[in-house]
């Protein structure tokens, strides 16, 4: 470990499953993906983290030696930070074995499925930052796209579940070390993920914006999708390697084709209109007026994305007189805007929004709004809200302002 600092973060990469549903005949993490294994791909994200982390690979008992060779190759200068242990019969047991090897300096623990082989480093960094800032557990969550039905044993539909209250969660999931260890000790049954086990011990968990690329390779169809992503990256020369160098390594000179944009929108309160803000409906709140649904957050995001791509602004692209957009919700504009960007050869990297206004009280629904907008934009969207200290039109409660910045890159 010599010259490297003591890590305060650890990542446990669970890779001890058999991969029954993938059906490759060998342990899933050792199945080929492009010209490497699923495990090697998943380590790109881990070793690209900004902060150096202790990395524990949990693999089938008969694969420990092979995994050590893979880990050494992937870790580069961070080789002393990596260890390999044999897993257990269940995922939970595998995680427990990883937890048993944590170093004393570690304060924040991430648990990650090796099967989420394409998870970007930025998601690991975001989970660490959230846990360190809040002291809560953190799970990446994506809005659910399909309509969800509750059914009985015979497949009869009982009801439609309100999907706006649901999130599809991924890994890495992050937790304060001491509370996670105590929750694992207290667990008396199998849980479907670490967050459920952690919450069962009475601890708080929140979602952070998830990432489409963090999908889990479960079936042959998922593996094919991952192969396609890798093949496309190889063909376009996009860098598969971590965006951040391993600790102590020289930064690669990657071509940088990214653009930033900014957008701002203002709508006035109108007592008889329903309130739509940040893609959400706010029942029993005075609404905002506008040709569409008057959602300044959605409109500022669209303007920021269009501005980054040099494609004009929401008025010139979508036409405020166009009857198709009368009363339209943010998702209509966002979907059309992402399409325009794609036609111009761009994809969003992230979006940050600042709301200025007295009403509604945004904090209670911030995570819900972020998950929804992240799903619509296809990249992390963060939303903050503030008042203007009783100054100006927002301070007098006459309307709401939203300012958005967007980062996009060549697809």
Helix (H, G, I), strand (E, B) or coil at 235: helix
Burial class (CB in 10 A: 0-12, 13-18, 19+), 185: exposed
Q: Does 140 bind ligand CTP (CB under 6 A)?
A: no
Half-sphere exposure of 11 (CA within 13 A, CB side): 29
Identify what 58 binds: Mg ion, ligand CTP, none; CB under 5 to 8 Å per kind: ligand CTP
Query: Which one of residues 37, 40, 84, 113 is an interface residue with ligand CTP (CB under 6 A)?
Result: 113
Q: How far is CA 401 from CA 108, 212, 315, 404, in A?
A: 37, 30, 17, 10
Instruction: Give, as ranges, the residues between 71 and 110 that touch ligand CTP (CB under 6 A).
Output: 87-91, 94
Complex with ligand CTP: residue 58 or 169, whichever CB lies closer: 58
Complex with ligand CTP: residue 66 or 313, whichever CB lies closer: 66
Q: Does 46 bind ligand CTP (CB under 6 A)?
A: no
Are the CB atoms for 286 and 294 separated by under 8 Å? no
Complex with ligand CTP: residue 98 or 399, whichever CB lies closer: 98
Complex with Mg ion: residue 57 or 302, whichever CB lies closer: 57
Are the CB atoms for 125 and 97 separated by under 8 Å? no
- Annotate 114-123 with b (16+ C-beta within 10 A) or e (fewer): bbbbbbbbbb
Q: Does 115 bind ligand CTP (CB under 6 A)?
A: yes
- Annotate 190-229 with b (16+ C-beta within 10 A) or e (fewer): ebebbbebbbeeebebebbbbbeebbebbeeebbeebeeb
Instruction: Give, as ranges, the residues between 8 and 37 that touch ligand CTP (CB under 6 A).
Output: 14-21, 28-29
Q: Which two tokens stand for residue 275?
A: 């309130």
Query: Which one of residues 8, 83, 218, 358 is an interface residue with ligand CTP (CB under 6 A)?
Result: 218
Smallest gap from Cβ 89 to ligand CTP, in A, equals 6
Q: Which two tokens stand for residue 116?
A: 């989420």
Identify what 49 binds: Mg ion, ligand CTP, none; CB under 5 to 8 Å per kind: none
- By CB under 5 A, which span of 12-20, 154-162, 338-346, 350-358 interacts with Mg ion? 12-20
Complex with ligand CTP: residue 29 or 334, whichever CB lies closer: 29
**x-or-dash string of contact with ligand CTP, 241-260, rule CB under 6 A:** --------------------
State the Cα–Cα distance between residues 278 and 300, nearest whole angstrom.
10
Q: Does 192 bind ligand CTP (CB under 6 A)?
A: no
Q: Does 114 bind ligand CTP (CB under 6 A)?
A: yes
Identify what 211 binds: ligand CTP, Mg ion, none; CB under 5 to 8 Å per kind: none
Q: Which two tokens stand for residue 133?
A: 């800032």
Are the CB atoms for 15 and 41 separated by under 8 Å? no
Are the CB atoms for 61 and 71 separated by under 8 Å? no
Smallest gap from Cβ 153 to ligand CTP, in A, equals 23
Complex with ligand CTP: residue 114 or 369, whichever CB lies closer: 114
Smallest gap from Cβ 126 to Mg ion, in A, equals 25
Identify what 68 binds: Mg ion, ligand CTP, none; CB under 5 to 8 Å per kind: none
Q: Does 58 bind ligand CTP (CB under 6 A)?
A: yes
Size, binding site for ligand CTP by CB under 6 A? 22
- By CB under 5 A, which span of 9-17, 203-211, 325-333, 338-346 interacts with Mg ion? 9-17
Partners of 269 in the β-ladder: 288
**Alpha-helical runs (H) found in 111-176:** 121-134
Q: Does 295 bind ligand CTP (CB under 6 A)?
A: no
- By CB under 5 A, which span of 15-23, 118-126, 165-173, 386-394 interacts with Mg ion? 15-23
State the Cα–Cα distance between residues 220 and 213, nearest whole angstrom.
16
Complex with ligand CTP: residue 91 or 177, whichever CB lies closer: 91
State the Cα–Cα distance between residues 257 and 245, nearest whole angstrom.
19
Q: Which two tokens stand for residue 161?
A: 């579940």
Identify what 320 binds: Mg ion, ligand CTP, none; CB under 5 to 8 Å per kind: none
SS3 content of the chain, % helix, strand, coil (to 5): 35, 25, 35
Complex with ligand CTP: residue 90 or 105, whichever CB lies closer: 90
Complex with Mg ion: residue 28 or 244, whichever CB lies closer: 28
Closest CA to 51 of 111, 108, 114: 108
Report the interhelical angle of 38-47 vs 121-134 (nearest 10°): 50
Helix (H, G, I), strand (E, B) or coil at 242: coil
State the Cα–Cα distance between residues 140 and 170, nearest whole angstrom.
5
Partners of 400 in the β-ladder: 267
Residues of this chain that interact with ligand CTP (CB under 6 A) are 14-21, 28-29, 58, 87-91, 94, 113-115, 216, 218
Applying CB under 5 A, the residues found at the interface with Mg ion are 17
């Amino acid at each position: 470990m010599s010259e490297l600092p003591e890590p305060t973060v650890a990542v446990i990469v669970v890779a001890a499953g058999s991969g029954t549903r993938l059906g490759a005949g060998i342990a899933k993490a050792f199945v080929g993906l492009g010209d490497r294994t699923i495990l090697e791909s998943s380590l790109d994200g881990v070793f690209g983290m900004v902060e150096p982390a202790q990395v524990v690979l949990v693999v089938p008992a008969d694969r420990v030696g092979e995994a050590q060779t893979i880990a050494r190759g992937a870790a580069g200068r961070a080789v002393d930070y990596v260890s390999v242990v044999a897993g257990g019969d269940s995922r939970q047991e595998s995680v427990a074995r990883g937890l048993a090897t944590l170093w004393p300096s570690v304060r924040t623990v991430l648990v990650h499925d090796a099967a989420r082989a394409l998870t970007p480093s930025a998601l690991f960094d975001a989970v660490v930052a959230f846990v360190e800032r809040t002291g809560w557990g953190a799970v990446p969550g994506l809005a659910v796209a399909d309509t969800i039905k509750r059914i009985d044993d015979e497949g009869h539909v009982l009801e439609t579940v309100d999907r706006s209250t649901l999130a599809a969660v991924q890994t890495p999931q992050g937790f304060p070390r001491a509370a996670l260890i105590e929750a694992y000790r207290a667990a008396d049954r199998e849980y479907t993920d670490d967050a459920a086990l952690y919450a069962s011990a009475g601890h708080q968990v929140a979602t952070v914006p998830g990432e489409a690329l963090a999908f889990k390779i479960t079936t042959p169809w998922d593996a094919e999708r991952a192969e396609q992503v890798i093949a496309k990256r190889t063909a376009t020369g996009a860098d598969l390697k971590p965006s951040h160098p391993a600790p102590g390594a020289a930064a690669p000179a990657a071509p940088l084709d990214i653009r930033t944009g900014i957008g701002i929108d203002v709508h006035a309160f109108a007592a008889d209109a329903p309130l739509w803000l940040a893609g959400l409906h706010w029942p029993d709140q005075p609404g905002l007026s506008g040709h569409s649904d008057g959602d300044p957050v959605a409109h500022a995001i669209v303007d920021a994305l269009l501005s980054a791509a040099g494609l004009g602004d929401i008025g010139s692209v979508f036409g405020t007189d166009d009857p198709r957009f009368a009363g339209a919700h943010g998702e209509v504009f966002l979907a059309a805007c992402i399409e325009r960007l794609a036609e111009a050869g761009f994809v969003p990297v992230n979006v940050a929004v600042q709301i200025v206004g007295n009403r509604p009280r945004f904090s209670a629904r911030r995570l819900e709004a972020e998950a929804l907008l992240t799903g619509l934009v296809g990249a992390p969207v963060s939303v903050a809200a503030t008042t203007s200290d009783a100054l100006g039109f927002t301070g007098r409660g006459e309307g709401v302002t939203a300012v958005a910045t967007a980062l996009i890159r060549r697809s």
